[in-house]
Amino acid sequence: MADKFRCILCLGEVEIRRDIKNRPFFQCSDCGVQFFIRKELGEERFMKLLKYFEEGKTISFSKTSNPFECPWR
């Protein structure tokens, strides 16, 4: 699994960490945004997203695509 991710606000590189209950989170040292995943389903989807990116896949939204469809579900 990747241990780095991009900040959802500034796109800076952030380290994926685990809290005391072993749930993933990150905090951007550049802009200060924090991202916590608290539900099991959210963690499963986040791990799928990381795998999706590790496989070299990218996400792009066009005017014809639905921005509310999640490609890694």
- Residue 65 falls inside a structural domain: no
- Residue 37 falls inside a structural domain: yes
The C-alpha atoms of residue 12 and residue 48 are separated, in whole angstroms, by 21
What one-letter code names the amino acid at 45? Answer: R
- The whole-number pLDDT of residue 6 equals 83
- Residue 70 falls inside a structural domain: no
- Residue 24 falls inside a structural domain: yes
- Residue 17 falls inside a structural domain: yes
- The whole-number pLDDT of residue 70 equals 62
- Residue 67 falls inside a structural domain: no
The C-alpha atoms of residue 27 and residue 35 are separated, in whole angstroms, by 6
pLDDT of the chain along its 73 residues, tens only? 567 788 888 888 898 899 999 998 989 999 999 989 999 999 998 888 888 888 877 766 666 666 666 665 5
Q: 19 lies in which domain range?
A: 4-54
The count of domains in the chain is 1
CATH number of the domain that residue 27 is part of: 2.20.25
Q: What is the pTM of this model?
A: 0.64
